[in-house]
Chain A
Amino acid sequence: MKIFFEYLGLLHIEEIKNKSLLDVKKDITAAELMTQLQIRKEHQKFISVFINDKEKSRNTVLNENDKVKLFLPTGGG
């Protein structure tokens, strides 16, 4: 199935085009998506997951055409 994928932050997934359609397996969760994208575990715990503009648990199952946004804040202030 296809989802619309967007990210903000240094996720080290430059090979994935930001704001693009992504083909993922049916019933994948946000957490599984992060693992599939090989996002580092130490980063995953600080990532906020937004599905269709609402913050959701990483265990949320994704649906076809969902708009999925991952946000990892970058340090410094």
Chain B
Amino acid sequence: MKKITYEQLTARNSLKLKGKLEKAIVGIAGCGGLGSNAAIALARIGVGKLILVDFDVVEPTNLNRQQYFIEDIGKRKVNALEEKLKLINPFLQIEKHNEKLTTAKVKNIFKEAHIVVEAFDQVSEKAMLVKAFTGKTFDENYLVMASGLAGYGSANTIKTKKLAKNIFVCGDNKTDFLVEGVMAPRVMVAAGHQANKVVELIDKIL
């Protein structure tokens, strides 16, 4: 494989972020449509470390929105995503957790993370993370959520809003995947909002 330097990888980044991105540790809670797209965006710009959490394997139905290939079907998502990320950014540190995230595990798994990207698809899991980040444990760490990214309606309805002092929500807060389906274009817009908010926060806190 051809070799590149970290300086080459990040040469087109905003100069204001110099020295900050490589120090950032970001959690990815779920490596599906949102998580795989957000993780790739963050790896490309040179974030220092990603903590990947997912219990699932890649399935054919994932390919309409998630950053996996046919050859990945059957692989653990955390392993398949690690492979992709390393092909983009060999300097990235990756910590993998092939397990289901629960309230009890959140603190331990994400203890190092400055910011966590919430990338689950189930409402119950999203609600669980809100609880975790509004309790005493994590109210100094940031959570960047997604809510409402289904279907193919206007992408301009997807916004980033502040929910609490340390929680942001990206999405239209309306469209439900069970009703409208879920497809790459709007999922990638929402994941892009999430990754961009992560960058804004890195600039602010590091």
Contact = CB atoms under 8 A, between A and B. Distances in A.
Contact of A8 (B119, B149, B161): B161
B148 A76 contact: yes
Contacts, number: 86
A45 B131 CA distance: 12
B83 to A, nearest CB: 21
Q: Is the interface of B mostly helix, strand, loop or mixed?
A: mixed
Contacts of B163: 8, 50, 69, 71
Nearest to B146: A77
Contact of A75 (B145, B169, B176, B187): B176
Interface stretch (B18-26, B27-35, B86-94, B105-113): B27-35
Interface in B159-188: 161, 163-165, 169, 171-178, 182, 187
A58 to B, nearest CB: 12
Q: How large is the interface on B (under 10, 10 to 19, 20 to 34, 35 or more residues)?
A: 35 or more
Chain A: number of interface residues, binned into ranges: 10 to 19
Nearest to A42: B123
5 contacts: A8-B173, A50-B163, A73-B126, A74-B147, A77-B149
Interface of B: 30, 32-35, 119-124, 126-127, 130-131, 134, 145-150, 161, 163-165, 169, 171-178, 182, 187
